[in-house]
């Protein structure tokens, strides 16, 4: 009953850290170390935005690594999550195409697992931008957003890295409106591969992550 209820909860909210933590605890109770480690690692991949679950997952993984005599660094935990695609890094700079507002350019460097043949049709992404207005209120942006790969035909061949370019252009801001932050999510075959938020707490403003 518990397993079935948690499975339904995970299906509805696959990025809910509380649900993932309960799944990890259940797997640990059942002595399924590999399954438990996968759930702790998924929480770690969310970063501090996962709240108290993040710290507990770190502790669980460190205990497991020490028991096994393996590397207990967070980087190792993150790479335990098996994904065809992952985000290597993000570059951000100011543009100059909006004389009365604000323009920002983002470059998301996306790497592919060398063992996986990537299909562009199975790749999708979400980019949510937020602005700050009067009295520090944070709202979804009304800026124009364009998203495209710099390579017109991304195949993740050769060096296995492609760049997704996002342009945020706010041409007619209201008084005191300015860019506040973003959330980026990367999917493959409808499954979340990686995500990034600046500032990290913006992840908590979004519904559960589901691919398009």
Instruction: For residue 35, tell me if it sits in a domain.
Output: yes
C-alpha dihedral, 194 to 15 to 8 to 27, nearest 10°: 90
* Statement: the pTM of the whole predicted model exceeds 0.85: no
Contact 81, 41 (CB under 8 A): yes
Interval 27-82: pLDDT, tens: 888 888 777 877 887 787 777 778 888 888 888 877 766 665 544 444 444 444 55
Q: Is the residue at 211 inside a domain?
A: no
Q: What is the pLDDT of residue 160?
A: 81
Q: Is residue 32 part of a domain?
A: yes
Same domain assignment for residues 169 and 192: yes
- Residue 198 is part of which domain span? 85-205
**pLDDT for the residue numbered 70:** 47
| pLDDT < 70: residue spans in the chain | 64-82, 159, 205-212
Rounded CA-CA distance 98/80 in Å is 42
Residue 210 lies in a domain: no
For residue 196, the cross-strand partners are 184
* Residue 212 belongs to some domain of the structure: no
In terms of domains, do 112 and 198 share one? yes
What pLDDT is attached to residue 206? 63
| CA dist., res. 178 & res. 183, Å (int) | 16
Asked whether the bond before 199 is cis by omega within 30 degrees of 0, the reply is yes
Residue indicated by tokens 């063992």: 115
152 and 117 in a common domain: yes
* The dihedral sign for the CA sequence 158, 117, 43, 36: negative
Using an 8 Å Cβ cutoff, are 195 and 46 in contact? yes
Residue positions counted in the chain:
212
> What is the number of domains present in the chain?
2
Q: At what angle do helices 17-29 and 2-12 cross, to 10 degrees?
A: 150
Element (H, E) at 166: strand 161-170
Q: In the prediction, which pLDDT does 75 show?
A: 43
Identify the CATH number of the domain in which residue 179 sits.
2.60.40
CA 84/CA 210 separation, integer angstroms: 16
Give the pLDDT confidence score for residue 38 in this predicted structure: 76
Query: Chain centroid to CA 139: how far?
Result: 20
Give the CA angle between residues 58, 203, 94 to the nearest 5°.
115
């Amino acid at each position: 009953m518990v397993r079935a209820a948690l499975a339904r909860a995970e299906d509805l909210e696959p990025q809910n850290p509380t649900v993932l933590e309960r799944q990890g605890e259940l797997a640990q109770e059942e002595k399924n170390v590999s399954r438990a480690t996968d759930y702790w690692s998924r929480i770690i991949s969310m970063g501090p935005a996962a709240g108290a679950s993040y710290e507990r997952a770190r502790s669980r993984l460190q205990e497991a690594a020490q028991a096994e005599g393996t590397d207990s660094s967070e980087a190792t935990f993150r790479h335990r999550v098996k994904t065809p695609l992952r985000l290597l890094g993000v570059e951000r700079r100011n543009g100059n195409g909006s004389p009365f507002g604000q323009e920002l350019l983002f470059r998301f460097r996306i790497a592919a697992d060398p063992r996986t043949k990537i299909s562009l049709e199975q790749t999708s992404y979400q980019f949510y931008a937020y602005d700050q207005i009067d009295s520090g209120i944070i709202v979804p942006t009304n800026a124009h957003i364009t998203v495209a790969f710099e390579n017109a035909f991304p195949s993740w061949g050769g060096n296995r890295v492609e760049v997704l370019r996002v342009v945020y252009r706010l041409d007619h801001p209201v008084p005191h409106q300015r860019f506040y932050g973003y959330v980026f999510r990367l999917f493959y075959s409808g499954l979340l591969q990686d995500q990034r938020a600046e500032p990290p707490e913006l992840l908590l403003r979004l519904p559960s992550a589901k691919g398009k």
